[in-house]
Amino acid sequence: MIIKQVKEYSNRQRIDINKSDGLNPGSEVVILSKSDYDNLINENKDLNNELTAKTTELQLLKDQENNLKDIVTDSIAPIDKHYQKELENKDNQIKQLKHQLNTLQAKANQHNLDMQGLNVFTMFFLRKHKKLISNFNDTITAITNDPKIIDADTKAIPGSKKNK
């Protein structure tokens, strides 16, 4: 940056520029008054201060966003845990019902095969079909929950008290 003073010689104004100023021939030079230059410098300082303030504000907002995310996560965690447990319970019930359905289908298929294997003599004279039907009804009512699947969240019997 070069600062020069305007001099007046016989109704002409002049600025003396020397080789020692370091300007090359053909260089473009902007000439501003000292007050305009000071205004530009002050505006630059103001903009830098504003940029610093905005950067600080942005960082505060990011920190606040992270804090809010943490708060939401912490407050939703117990609810999420409860519903995950409920989903597991429902999945266990579905597995149990699928097991019962598969068992029932197998028993019904076997009963149909046994009934189709009977001839007229065994049906009317020996009455074997009644025994098959009775056995089928007994096996259907005997289908219960799969013993491999344990419901760990069973509730206590209402009205019972634990002895301590």
Please report, in tens digits, the pLDDT of each residue of the chain (164 residues total): 788 888 888 888 888 888 888 888 888 888 888 899 999 999 999 999 999 999 999 999 999 999 999 999 999 988 989 999 999 999 999 999 999 899 889 888 888 888 887 787 777 767 777 777 888 888 777 766 655 655 555 555 555 555 44
Q: Tell me whether residue 19 is in a domain.
A: no
Is the Cα dihedral 82, 83, 89, 92 positive or negative? Answer: negative
Whether 24 is in a domain gets the answer: no
> Which residues span the domain enclosing 47?
35-142
Whether 49 is covered by a domain: the verdict is: yes
Structure tokens at 35: 């007050």
Residue with tokens 């096996």: 139
Give the count of domains, the chain: 1
Radius of gyration of the chain from its Cα atoms, rounded to whole angstroms:
47
Please tell me the pTM assigned to this model. 0.44
> Is 76 within a domain?
yes
Residue 161 within a domain = no
Strand partners, 12: 9
CB-side neighbour CA atoms (13 Å) of 8: 2
Helices assigned H by DSSP within 117-127: 120-124
Look at residue 100 and tell me if it is in a domain.
Answer: yes
